[in-house]
Chains A and B, each alone.
Chain A
Amino acid sequence: MMARYQRQMVLGEVGQKGQRRLLNSRVLVVGAGALGSAAATYLALAGVGTVGLVDGDVVELSNLHRQILHDSDQVGVLKTESAQRRLGALNPDVRVVEHPVFLNRDNTLGIFAPYDVIVNGSDNFPTRYLVNDAAVLLQKPLVDAAILRFEGQLAVFRPGLGCYRCLFPEPPPLGTVPDCAVAGILGAVAGVMGSMQAVETLKLLLGLSNDNRLRIYDALAGTWYPVPFMRDPACRVCGDAPTVSTLIDYENFCGVAAGLDDRGSGVAGEWSVTVDEADSLLADPNLLVIDVRDPREYAAGHIPGAVRLNLEDLDAWVSHHADQKTLVVCQVGIRSASATEYLRLNQMDAWNLAGGTRAWEASGRPLSQEDAQNT
């Protein structure tokens, strides 16, 4: 049975003893998505004896560019089932436990209880805070990662040494952080981060992990940056006087229960519209579309009829367009969100296009290279 692991048992840090320890370990992977796929694959190959997977979703075609546990034949199948088949074929030593549910305040502590380490590969903020709080309450180590575009964040939270809420006490307001459906993700970046989660989990199980850092991976620059952090004595979950002693309603905590959906990137969440919602604004002949990108970006392609305006000139522009109804656009919706907020502060009827020109183009709508006149 041990022959399979010969090349890793050669490592002094593993050996026969370490390998036995791995075979007797139980790791729960939350989310059988992009991160969970990579993490669970390496954990199973390394011979972690029990690998649990929590995910209530089924496999979709758009998952397959990054979720390496699943393939074209599994579209429509529960992700936990698809994962079980793959991991079982990769390493029959491993017991794969399927939890084909979405975590909530009622089922999480019970699901987490038998596991030694929790690996967080969830894809939304309510689940991230839920998983963190449950791990703190049960005093289980948590290996957390999250990805967006070309960026990855990785953190190992060990009991008593800080938690996700020590880094980010409050969830971001709805609409201020785009998800991967809006902003995109390179599959290989998710693979890097999920593999790192497996590395950190194996280190925890083998007693090789001792630091307390967030690590930021910048795939475009090809760099990793360690960000040291400390447990926050004021943390509401792991601080000196915690106020969260049981799981709460995380949808509510993160504002999702308010009935709003994800508004894309930017600071002006409540004044953001999706490309589809922008159609009704654009039907108004009095609407003006302003594009706050630089001349080069504008020339490369803009929403037909959009006029270009420098952010620096916004102040002067406001004084001449007091009652103008405006849709503000940039590349992905961040600069335009700032501009929208500024116009709103000046009592203007301004809206931000979430996802910007990129989302407009991705929806199949045309771009123009013709210069529209700024009036």
Chain B
Amino acid sequence: MARKPARAPNDDIGEETRLKMYRTQVVIREAEQRAFDLFLQNLVKGTSHLSLGQEAVAAGFATAMNPGDLSFCTYRGHAHTLARGVSIEKVLGELMQRDNGLMRGKGGSMHLTSEEHGVMGSYAIIGAHLPIACGAAWRAQYKGQKDVSVCFFGDGTTNIGAFHEALNFAVIWKLPVVFVCENNLYMEYTPIEDVTAVQHPAADRAGAYGLEAVIVDGQDADEVYRAAQAAYAKARAGGGPSLIECKTYRYSGHSRADPAKYRKPGELDKWKERDPIKIYRERLLQFGIEQETIDKIDTEVRQVVDDATEKCKAAPQPPFELITRDVYADGGWAWRN
């Protein structure tokens, strides 16, 4: 029997939001798993960087956003793009570089962008998008608009100059920007601890910019959601930027070519015990949501992924006329008369 969404006493999140966050995590898990399968079939071309194991970070931050808030992602951006509501077909289509892809195959997996969903781009040069997010936040501040710019990046990114320039800049201008470090313990293939002067690559740097050190359990979507809410509220109230470090772990290799031989023995299994989706299923049950409701979400999402896969397989290649389109604002590429 269908129940009305309930809110337990002292529960700040509520059933409706939890179900949404659960569905988002399952969407990411299933779509990323499918992307990996399609890569094995040689249907996903180029590269791809999966967020398997990191779903709760994307789900928590996106669910706490308002429409109109802006996401700035890295090449590991499928999860954040899906979490903002971009369709699985558009994302898989772009990974497969088909004409039905989000950018019709012109950007590829590392550059997912959907302006209408507030996904202002996925950037593949480490650190470059932190200053860009500052600029979007500056526009909100200047125009008196209430949106927040949210910028996602990895632990390795805390060692590049643009990270430090952006933090200082955001603080002195008091910009409504939230910097989210997904600390998955590795920069590409090297353990972050081997190349970083401090233990917590983002949080331990926060103090240098007068910011609070915030560390969040990135495997628990509720914890992520709460941290996101607090940071967004502060930004909207004119309180300036936040830097949040989420402890998480990626199950796959860095990119499609990486078998991840560098992992410490037992590390992956240990993290899988704290799988974000497993944690969240238990959370839902604990709050009185029925197993049936959870199973139904899983089934629905799998169906959407299957349908999207078939559509992408059937979709045409992008047409050659795209090659010279949209270099300049007139739609073309003319550099001379």
The judgment on whether A and B are partners is no
